[in-house]
Amino acid sequence: MSVRKRTWTTRKDEVRTAWVVDYVDRQGDRHIQTFSLKKDAVARHDEVKVDVRSGVHVAASKSLTVSEAGEIWIKAGELDGLEAGTLLQYRGHLKHILPALGRVKLSDLTTADVATLSDTLRKGGMSPVMTNKVLVSLGSLIGEAQSRNLVARNVVREGRRKKHNGDARHKRKLKIGADIPEPEEITAILANAKDRWRPLLLIAAFTGVCTENLNPDVVVMKSAKDRM
C-alpha cells in the first residue's frame, strides 16, 4: 500500500501531476485511485489502510449502489417477517431516497450527500418529522449493507453523531439565578419540600442531576399545596 506522485506530459507539452493511492485488498485484488492533491491521497491511504486491516474495506469497483443496497434491505425485511405496513413505509421512503442517491455507490456516499438529501426534501415541502424518518431509513439501509461487509461506514449515523457533538459543544452554559436556582432559593425549596419530593430534590441539589429542569416556583407551589 503506497502513495506515489505521477507526472506526465500532455500532447500540448503541458506537465500534469497527480497523486496515486495503490493498494491490495484482502481478496488480493489491486486497486488504484488518483487524486489531484497529495493531502487527499494521504487521507484516503490512511482510511483504506485501517479498513483493510479491520477487514471492512470495500473497494469502489466492488461497491453496491444505494439502489442495489435498497433492494437487499427490503428483502431482508421480508425475510425477518416485518409487517406489510412497515415494508410499505420503507418502500415509500426509498421513493424519496433513490432519485437523489440511487446511483451513488455506498463507498462514495458522504455525510454531505445525506445533508443535501435532507435539504432537498425539506425544500420540497416535506415536514421535519417525515424527513427524519426517511433519513433513519437510509441509515437502516446502510446498516444492513454494513452488517454484510458491503460498506465500511454508515455516513448517516456518523453525521448524526457529529451534529449531536456539535450541538453539545455550542450549548450555552447555564446561569445561576436564571436557568438554575440560587443557593438561597435551593435552601428555601428544601425547607418547604416534604414527602416524596424531598429525597428527589436533595439528590438534585447536591449532585447536580437535572438541575436545569428544576423550577423552584413549581416545586414551592406544589409543596405549599401539599401542606394545605
How confident is the model over 97-146, as pLDDT tens digits? 999 999 999 988 889 999 999 999 999 999 999 999 999 999 999 999 98
Q: Is the overall model pTM greater than 0.75, yes or no?
A: no
What's the domain range around 208? 183-227
Same domain, residue pair 162 and 93: yes
Same domain, residue pair 129 and 94: yes
Count of domains in the chain? 3
Q: How far apart are CA 73 and CA 79, in angstroms?
A: 10
Residue 178 domain flag: no
Q: How far apart are CA 204 and CA 206, in angstroms?
A: 6
Residue 175 domain flag: no
158-177 pLDDT per residue, tens: 877 666 555 555 556 666 76
Q: Give the up-direction half-sphere exposure of residue 206: CA atoms within 13 A in the CB hemisphere.
A: 8
48-94 pLDDT per residue, tens: 676 666 555 555 666 789 999 999 999 999 999 999 999 999 999 99
How distant, in Å, are the alpha carbons of 176, 182, 187, 198, 222 from that of 204? Answer: 14, 13, 12, 10, 17
Strands 2-9 and 15-24: antiparallel
Of 65, 70, 45, 71, the closest CA to residue 57 belongs to 45
Residue 23 domain flag: yes
Same domain, residue pair 133 and 203: no
Residue 177 domain flag: no
Same domain, residue pair 164 and 79: yes
| Mean of pLDDT over the chain | 78
Same domain, residue pair 163 and 194: no
Same domain, residue pair 72 and 161: yes
Instruction: Retrieve residue 48's grid coordinates.
Output: 483504506
Please say which residue of 134, 149, 170 terminates a domain. 170
Residue 34 domain flag: yes
Contacts of 70 (CB under 8 A, 6+ apart): 94, 97, 98, 102, 141
Same domain, residue pair 80 and 163: yes
Residue 108 sits in a domain of what CATH number? 1.10.150.130
Residue 44 domain flag: yes
Q: What percentage of the chain exceeds 70 in pLDDT?
A: 71
Number of residues that this document lists for the chain? 228
Of 135, 130, 59, 128, the closest CA to residue 100 belongs to 135
Residue 176 domain flag: no
